Amino acid sequence: MSRVDILDDFDFDENAFRGMAEEGEVVAKFFSLMEAEVAAARLRAEGIHCFLANTASSSVLPHLQSVIRLHVRPLDSARAREILNEAAITTISPSDNTRNAGTLTALAILIGILLAALLASILWSRY
């Protein structure tokens, strides 16, 4: 009798994922399925076996904003984190953010004053 598994027709090494559900370590969490898939593809390209947990619920109920977890074997976790950190986007530090907020506030006040002066000159020329 033949097996009727979903992955019957694929070259799949069952031993590569044995025990990952119990022993897998979460190396990243994502809110976007696309970001999670890209990160998983990056790890797989480097030869690190991984899987994404919670993808079905985020696809079926996208408005819930569920967290998608990227799991790897514990022995691959350090290398996986290193690979994912190489591709990380540099973010603005909080001190830079408050400086930018002050600049934007000053610019908004200046634009408001200029618009008020323009409105006053238009109203003054009518009378």
The 10s digit of each residue's pLDDT in 62-110 is 677 778 899 999 999 999 999 999 877 554 555 555 566 778 888 899 9
What's the pTM? 0.53
Q: Please provide the DSSP assignment of 52-91 as one string.
A: EESHHHHHH-GGG-PPEEEEE-GGGHHHHHHHHHHTPPP-
Whether 71 and 121 map to the same domain: the answer is no
Whether 42 and 21 map to the same domain: the answer is yes
* φ, ψ at 53 (rounded to 5°): -110, 140
Average pLDDT, the chain: 77
Whether 52 and 105 map to the same domain: the answer is no
Whether 72 and 107 map to the same domain: the answer is no
Structural domain boundaries enclosing 12: 1-90
Query: What per-residue confidence (pLDDT) applies to 100?
Result: 67
Whether 36 and 80 map to the same domain: the answer is yes
Number of domains the chain contains: 2
